[in-house]
């Protein structure tokens, strides 16, 4: 065999090997390219779903923020009056301030005509309290009563000594206050 024949033979073997290699690798190569294309599509889908999830989480956080604000406002101005809850709050504050509650009376007050004309949809509960204790205990009671979440406005206070002892250790406080409640739409426009 001559050198030329050997070279031709080697070239033919190389060509056959290349064709066999391409024939065997081609399906795997096409499959790999197809998988790479699908992976790119999935990445795009993942990115769009990730941004959608971020958007929904933002909406959820906004909902929780608005719901917390609504809960806070509904504590300040409840949509309906529950006298037993208000009564319990007053007695709890009195117990905290170490004030003796002689009486607590509630009365619904008619809204003045000028406020009705303005479209204010509120109801007013007048609260009359008679409490006993020292000057500092009564002040502590009043300041705590004003700080509860429900809107309570103290309108009038009369403090008298009971006459049994001198000084400010045993006083009676006659307190008039107002609390409000209304519907879901407080001001109609």
Tell me the per-residue pLDDT of 57-114, one tens digit each, with 9 for 90 and over.
Answer: 999 999 999 988 888 777 777 766 678 888 888 999 999 999 999 999 998 887 767 6
pLDDT greater at residue 183 or residue 105: 105
| Domain parsing of the chain, residue ranges | 1-76, 83-187
Alpha-carbon distance of 81 to 181, in angstroms, equals 6
What's the CATH superfamily of 83-187? Answer: Ribosomal protein S6/Translation elongation factor EF1B (3.30.70.60)
Whole-prediction pTM: 0.57
Q: What share of the chain is helix, strand, coil (3-state, %, to 5)?
A: 55, 25, 15
Q: How many CB atoms lie within 10 A of CB 168?
A: 14
């Amino acid at each position: 065999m001559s050198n030329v024949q050997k070279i031709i033979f080697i070239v033919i073997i190389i060509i056959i090997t290349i064709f066999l290699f391409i024939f065997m690798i081609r399906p795997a190569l096409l499959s790999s390219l197809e998988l790479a294309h699908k992976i790119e599509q999935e990445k795009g889908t993942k990115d769009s779903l990730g941004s959608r999830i971020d958007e929904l989480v933002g909406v959820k956080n906004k909902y929780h923020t608005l719901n917390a604000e609504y809960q806070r406002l509904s504590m300040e101005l409840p949509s309906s009056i529950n006298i037993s809850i208000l009564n319990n709050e007053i007695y709890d504050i009195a117990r905290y301030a170490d004030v003796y509650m002689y009486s607590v009376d509630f009365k619904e007050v008619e809204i003045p005509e000028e406020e009705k004309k303005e479209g204010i949809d509120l109801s007013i509960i007048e609260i009359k309290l008679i409490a006993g204790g020292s000057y500092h205990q009564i002040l502590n009671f009043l300041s705590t009563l004003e700080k509860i979440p429900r809107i309570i406005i103290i309108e009038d206070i009369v403090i008298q000594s009971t006459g049994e002892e001198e000084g400010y250790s045993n006083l009676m406080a006659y307190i008039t206050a107002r609390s409000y409640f209304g519907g879901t739409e407080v001001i109609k426009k």
